[in-house]
Structures are given as structure tokens and as C-alpha cells.
Structure 1
């Protein structure tokens, strides 16, 4: 079964000029007085707008560039008013971004699209379409649907004209009328029509299991007909932000949930008719990576999600809606499952080697050139590596001995190891954990992710730290995004708890 998610027709020179003329490089002035291509004061590698936060990135690949539309969260109703507009970035390498400003203006208090929520971008015959969610909580109080699918069009991806009339509402006989959002449109080659997937809820069943992926079809992107649900798993309150793509023989349905866990999942199938299978590890990342959608240039595919902030910038603060952009590269494995790794373009930004000063602090460490090992079968050992630069990347390989309880990387450790963060690999539990110390005993670790650890095989860790964001990858397969606010400065370190481990290929790099 074929698909056309985005047309491959070459854009006109007029569109190129419009995009180039509109673009504003994202710059700021650092303490040196020099303008930077990325905004160092505003998380250079993890984009956020200067005057707010970003949520629900909607990626669209066109003519050599990834266009990232996103929901802007001002978090300041007094100054900016109520509602959520769409803004627009573009990038060729997923590292440096051009800012095209506001793409779709939010509506008024009595209009359907006071909040312009998630949707998709689609091209047909040289005209670009955005299908988006018009959301207005004031309408619910008036007995009207809170959500509807709406549409805007553009000839150049820059200037958008909204259709003020919603194009489709939920069928009140079948669906709850206030949950009808996040349209994703694609061309179904086999059916010979356009299909739209939506996050929706049926009207019967347990409250937390009514979520479905609704299906609406159209011959022309104008006239739409509600069909039977595309996927109805009886698993979630709602599974939102649907995304669909095909890679090889497999179709992938990506969606995000908040019922049991706030996380982006995926399912896989050889057919659009299902069954939609859950792989062993069905998520791209953990709690601090949400509402991911993907885009591809035909060769590589990337997942664009956001790392949420925490209330009051505290490690125990409530996770907020909106944050900073995080990008993973998606790779298909021989069995069809998906893994993620750090895009090479991001790796290449860290060119400057930081001289290491590995110093044992606890335990009897042994060194053989670039290899460090320690044996503490009934205790704890750690060694400091180097003071952490403000923005840096660490890479290391860990070889565990059998029955080792845990080992890994320490971040932002003070001299007495009374305060620090920890990336802890636990072979017995097949997981990686981002944790902090001190932490009350009845409080769970901040984030954890499952990872398949095989006895005798080394574990490769790569981690970037910038500002409050920590982004780690294990074996170039599993990602763990996190936030760390309360411990600043300090050093990188190595540790082993109740076991033996050997560390090698230890490198710390920063940007030029």
C-alpha cells in the first residue's frame, strides 16, 4: 500500500524567495559582545522562543528544509492575552534555526480558534494546507463544541489565510464533542482518497478507556466524511497528536498519552487495517519528551518533541505544558522496531576536547591508560572527571561484571558528593535512571527508561548538558530527556555501586 504524506513536487523559486526573505536568524549577544547564530542565553541546541515556551512541534519537510511549526505558550495572560498561536521555524540541519515569526494568528474569545492547537501541514498542487485544532473552552460553557478541525492555506509557507469556518466537528451521536483534535492528513493510495486521523473519544465505556484514533476521509480536501474509527484500543483516556508514516514494509502510528504516563508511543503494522502491534519498547523517550511528530527527507527521519519545564524551576516542581525542542533521529531495526539516537549534526557541534582530570574520590580505582576500573562488591566508588562546562557532551563506555547493582555517570557533583545528579544504569532491572541526590526515600527517581542490557556487552552512553536540560542516549538506541534545576556547576564523575565496572573511551567535549 503506497502513501504520499507530503508531495515531492519541487517548490517554485517564488516560494524559496519568500522563505529566505522572511527568515530571521536566531541570535543573541553573549557576554563577549559577539552575536551567535544560536541563542546561547535561550538554550542554543534546544530551541525555545525568547518570550515564552514551545509545545507540539508540527514538522514538514520541503525543498531541503524542515519547517517546524509550533504552539507558542506565552505563560503571561496579562501581557499577551489568552490563547495560543502557531509560530514557524525552519532548519536544514536541525541545529541552526531561522525564525519566521507568527504563522497563524489565534482567534478572538468568541471564535472557535482562540487556541490554535495541534495539526499538520500538507501540500497539494502547489498549495500548502494547515489543518489544525480550533479550541475554545469558553464555547463549552455556552453548550457548543470546544474543539473542531479548521484549515488555513498558503502559497509560500509564510503567509497563511485562515478559513474562519470549521470544516468538521465530532459526530455527537458517536463521539464526545469536546475531544476532536490534532488532525493528521495523508493520501491513501490504495483507497484513492485523503485520510485524516484525529484524537477523539467515544461516548461509552470506562472513562479512562474511551480514547480512539478517529478517521475522516475526503476526495478533495474540501468535503469530509466521518468513518469508523481507525484504531480503538480501549487503553487510554485519549491518545493525542497522531502521526503516521511508512518505512519499508511497516506502517507506524505515533501518538502521545497522559492517562497512566505522559509519553510518546508508537505502534506498528504491515497494513493500515492493522493489527497495530506494540513492540517491547514502544516509546521514543520518557516523561520529559512529549507530543512528538516525525518528518523525513526521504532518507532520514527525525522525531520532534518538547522537553517540559517544571514549576518554579524546581526538581520536584510539577511538569508544565510546553518547554524546549528536542530532536531524535529515528532508525528502523531488522525486526521493524524503532530506536532513536542523537543526530550526527548535533554531535558534530561539540568539537573542542576538554582535558580530563580523572581523580578517584572513593574506592580503589585502577587505571590503564584511558581505561578506569573499580571493584566494590559491597560498597560505592566514584571518581571525578572534570569540572563541567556550561554546555558540554560526555561519552563513555561501561563494561559491567556480573551481578553489578548499578554504575554510570555523575553530573554536577559538588566536592563532597552531597549534591549531584546521576545517570544510573541498572543491569538487573534493565533500565537507565536519571536521579538526584539528596532525594527523600519515598520519592521516586526523576525519570527512568527501559533498556535491554546484555551480560558481557559494553554499554555506550552519550549525554549533553545545557542549562537545565539533560539529554542522554544509551547504545544509540534509547533516549532519556530530563530537567535538572537545583544542582548547578560541579563536575562530571564515574561511579559504581555494589559491583565491578570498567570505563573507557571517556571523552568530554564542548563547543568552539
Structure 2
């Protein structure tokens, strides 16, 4: 578990190098008082661990750009991928001139995972042929964020999954997983969505992971981001869910209507699948609340993932994360 005394942390992504897990995450000072203010005060932090439980906080690695930059409003969720000469971090940015309402995807480079330099010439933007442009009468932002970049051996190219919205359909059901591809990580082509279930307003923090012979497309949604149809069916919770496919390229489908890690309040959110030292998949999540208490803003301990004989995922109970937030940290958390 990672809970920092003076910082809220939330969305995160991981990579592994020489037996060390590197965690990158959004963070903002608890001195803001209201956790809702964290989004426009986000920085990207870094921590390391050898067991996904005990973390060493290493400080800030990325922040919004200088005034006038395309990302001078905020730097938000992304992913990290190894390259021939180091590592690339793909991240979400927004600008003050657009009041933070338009999201774009940028990149930073590193040789050691510790020091990062932004690549100001790089940007991947929404393509209106398939995706929704900014119209606050329909949705509150131009949704184009949370890039998850990976190399797909089956098609011989890099791929980027993106939280996005389709440009047609009911406003509360346009949430899709957008897609872009590249042969060299330099030039990117935006493609139609890789998944369009028509059940959510947005599908945040995507990740693609193979477990056994199936491919799981992980995403998260808050209770308010479910379509009216799902809400009427009694399925609206906050948490992490997945689509499933038989190939890395899809097609992807909802295997179960119910979230595999969800509850009305969303104690665990923006979950990711990581790999323990054994190679087994485990579930990590942004820890919002503990047993109905105040907002925490931390990282959960890993949960073992169980795959049943139908290929459905469940999280095995692990009471350790439900421990009360330590007394020395409780005073820094907002009620």
C-alpha cells in the first residue's frame, strides 16, 4: 500500500525493469483541502518496489508545461513502454487557454526511468471522423486521455488504447476505447474505436492484458458515467470492469454485466493488472475510501485474481487493505 503523508495519489501505471516495479501516478498536495481540486493541481510522481506492497517514493518526475504550452493546465494519466534507447512515457495533457477542456496525448523520454524530458514535438490528437469534438451541451470535455501503449506481436505494430467518446449515439452511452497505431512510435495513425459497448459515458484508464488464452480489456467508470439503460437495470456502480476477446485485436465484448471490482461508492477505482514475482496476475487500484471513511487518495495492496472455468475474473478477498488509515496520516485526509 502507498499512502503519502502530504499528498493525494490516484490514477497510476506501472512497468518493470530488472526485477523492480516502477510506479508512476498522479499526485496533488492534501493542503488543497478539497480532494476535488486535485485534478487541476496534478503532477506525476514515481515510486519503486520489489513486491508491489512496500514502495519507496522518489518524488515528482513530470509536471504541467510552462505558460502557453499545450499541457500547461495539467498532466494526467498515461503509460510507459521500453524502447531501444530507454523508455517512453505517454501521458494526457490539457491547456489553460482551453480551460482544461480539450485533452491531447503527449510524450516524455527517459534513459533510466528516473529523469524524464518532454518531447514537445510529439502529440496525438482526436480524429473527428470517429470521435466526439468538444460540445459542452453534450459532454463536459473533449475526452481523449489515458493512453495505454504496447507492442502487438500479432499485427507487428505498436498500439495505443485511449479513453474516448464516439461522435454519434446517445450522449450517456458514447464511451469507447479509442485506438491508434504506429510502426515506429513516432508517426501515429488514429483508427476507429477498438471497443464500443454503448453502455457508458466514458471508459477510463484502459489496459489490455492476456490471462490464459483470453484477452481482457480493463477500464473504469464512476456510477454517474453509466448509461440510463444500465442504471435502470440496477448495474450502476463505481469501479473497474473489463471486456473480453479471443485475440489482442478483438472483437471485445462484455462478458458479465456486473463490475468485477465495483461498489456504489467506488472504494477501489482505476484498477490495473500487474504481475507478481511468480508471474501470476494481481489487481492494484486507486484507493479512494476505506470502509466508508473519508477520501484517502492512495494505492491499494495487490489482490490475487481468480479466473473461473468460464474465464471470468474475480478478486480474491484480501483484508489487509481494509486496515484503518494510520493515525499519523488520518489528519491529512479530508472528511
Q: TM-score, normalised by structure 2?
A: 0.80
When residues 302 and 62 of structure 1 are mapped into structure 2, their CA distance, relative to the original with a 3 A threshold, is farther
Counterpart of 1:295 in structure 2 is 274
Offset, 1:174: 3.2
Q: Quick check: which one's strand share is greater?
A: 1
Counterpart of 1:305 in structure 2 is 285
Q: Does 1:217 align with 2:219?
A: no
Question: Whole-Å Cα distance in 1 between the matches of residues 214 and 310 of structure 2?
Answer: 10
Counterpart of 1:64 in structure 2 is 19
| 1:340-419 correspondence runs (5 A) | 340-341=315-316
Q: 1:378-397 deviations in whole A, cap 9, x for unaligned?
A: xxxxxxxxxxxxxxxxxxxx
Q: Give 5+ residue unaligned stretches, structure 1.
A: 1-45, 344-461, 470-484, 487-512
Q: Give 5+ residue unaligned stretches, structure 2.
A: 134-141, 227-236, 327-333
Asked if 2 retains the 8 angstrom alpha-carbon contact of 1:57 and 1:304, the reply is no
Question: Whole-Å Cα distance in 1 between the matches of residues 57 and 320 of structure 2?
Answer: 27
The structure whose RCO (Cα within 8 Å, separation 6+) is larger is 2
SS class of match (1:168): coil
When residues 279 and 92 of structure 1 are mapped into structure 2, their CA distance, relative to the original with a 3 A threshold, is same
Q: 1:66-102 deviations in whole A, cap 9, x for unaligned?
A: 1111100224459x99531110111111222112211
Asked if 1 retains the 8 angstrom alpha-carbon contact of 2:238 and 2:262, the reply is no
Counterpart of 1:333 in structure 2 is 308
| 1:146-225 correspondence runs (5 A) | 146-177=102-133, 178-225=142-189
Counterpart of 1:123 in structure 2 is 82
SS class of match (1:139): helix
| 1:395-474 correspondence runs (5 A) | 462=319, 465-468=322-325
Asked if 2 retains the 8 angstrom alpha-carbon contact of 1:148 and 1:166, the reply is no
Q: 1:283-319 deviations in whole A, cap 9, x for unaligned?
A: 1343210011122257122222112159xxx9587xx
Offset, 1:195: 0.7
Greater alpha carbon shift after TM alignment, 69-78 vs 243-252: 69-78
SS class of match (1:266): strand
Asked if 2 retains the 8 angstrom alpha-carbon contact of 1:211 and 1:238, the reply is yes
Question: Whole-Å Cα distance in 2 between the matches of residues 117 and 222 of structure 1?
Answer: 21
Counterpart of 1:253 in structure 2 is 217
Counterpart of 2:230 in structure 1 is none
When residues 336 and 58 of structure 1 are mapped into structure 2, their CA distance, relative to the original with a 3 A threshold, is same
Question: Whole-Å Cα distance in 2 between the matches of residues 306 and 219 of structure 1?
Answer: 32
